[in-house]
Structure 1
């Protein structure tokens, strides 16, 4: 599919971005305005949040193969991550973001430039399955365990958890806090699963046909995902504040 626009990928990215905006809007309603929605903190909310993360990371790994300049893209996304960190550290220190999703995605894009000569020698199916397994085996390293919460294989040595480099890699000290934290381990394995998935499906006629499906509003959003990501949180907060002010004026005294 060299040179052909794979429209559905833009649409899926746009759909994931909308889901993320709605999730963050719900989070702000609960955390800032005290709205009570119990399911948000339980399994349904966890699944919603994880579906957004997984979709972004797998799509980014998949689309790395389509990038004409992955170094430039990686640097731009990394710069976006630094901007988000700087703004939150200055204006929202209680919700500061260190090593967030943009920092991870930018780092993964740049790292794959270095890894590509090695990755080309790995069969696609083996690479996909191997990285999927590694992702689940390392899923809870941030919390100090190998494996996942439901299937723990043992503790990671505590001596690994110290300093900024270890935090970037996936081994944060106990006092580390970030409102959005995506370390290289385990998330790079999920990114690589998306990278290898590309070679598995790209030549399939059914996939090529599927990529021709167009949902233009979602495509428009998907092609501007970085800009929308950078702007969405202040826009959501302004919208919620405006709504709350109007609600207070209209329903003051009615207990709503």
Structure 2
């Protein structure tokens, strides 16, 4: 079984298959947010926050991102500089998202969305990513607990980021540690089985996957701007 310690990072700088999978998730996310914005600007009347179709679609996208990100961290370079840069980017991105969405959505601002989750998941996982078996077991346990434990005492905003709350919070994006950290750990544990997967040879997807954080941050402001301009005419 391959492991990060057996991988020559100078030769394998990107795993194109993983980038392509992430690129697919990016495409799905942009389409979802385009539909969300159609609804937000009253071009359509989807029940996008409660409809099982739309909530399932969002769940699939988040699950895809989380799993692939877990796989990816297994192949990150073994140096503290890379880790600190990654954490800094995620921290600044998370803070920016919270501030901007506070002014846009008020009390529904994003205080623990996907980027906030990735910040914590990266900090927790990076030092222990070599322990594949332990992470697989812990990830499975987290998923089981998530499906069986919902507590009203965990409903306040200062606790519901953990994910064991019984009520869904009113926020524009929500990605708590339970269950998503479980899937992230399983992604880390699955990495050795995916390292030798052949590329789909779809360059556009791999490019999108390699710039996923930037695209995540800018695509929705761009869509909002375009819809705002269209609404004024």
Q: TM-score range by the shorter chain?
A: 0.7 to 0.9
Residue deviations 1:200-256 (CA, integer Å, cap 9, x gap): 443xxxxx252x33211122221111111111111111222344456xxxxxxxxxx
* Partner Cα separation in structure 2 for residue 83 and residue 76 of structure 1: 11
Asked if the contact 2:97–2:110 (Cα under 8 Å) also holds between the matched residues in 1, the reply is yes
Structure-to-structure mapping, 1:51-62, within 5 angstroms? 51-62=60-71
Q: What residue number does 1:138 align with?
A: 145
1:238 aligns with 2:231: no
SS of the equivalent of 1:92 reads helix
Aligned length: 220
The separation in 2 between residues aligned to 1:178 and 1:38, in whole angstroms, is: 16
Counterpart for residue 75 of structure 2: 66
Aligned with residue 27 of structure 2, among 18, 35, 56: 18
Do the aligned partners of residues 131 and 102 (structure 1) sit closer, same or farther apart at CA in structure 2, a change above 3 Å counting?
same
Counterpart contact for 2:155–2:166, Cα < 8 Å:
yes
Give 1:169's match in structure 2, choosing from 149, 159, 162: 162
Q: Aligned residue for 2:190?
A: 197
CA distance in 2, matches of 1:16, 1:175: 24
Cα RMSD of the aligned pairs, angstroms, is 2.8
* 1:225 corresponds to 2:232: no
Segments of structure 1 that go 5 or more residues without pairing to the other structure are 140-146, 148-152, 203-207, 247-256
Q: 1:66 to 1:36 in 2, by over 3 A?
A: same
Q: Alpha-carbon deviations, 1:165-221, whole Å to 9, x = none? A: x2332245869532111111221001001000012443xxxxx252x3321112222
Q: Distance in 2 between matches of 1:40 and 1:160?
A: 22
Offset, 1:40: 8.5
Query: 2:103 maps to what in 1?
Result: 90
Correspondence for 1:100 among 90, 106, 113:
113
* Greater radius of gyration (CA): 1
Aligned-pair CA distance for 1:161: 3.9
Aligned-residue offset at 1:37 = 4.1
TM-score, normalised with respect to structure 2: 0.81
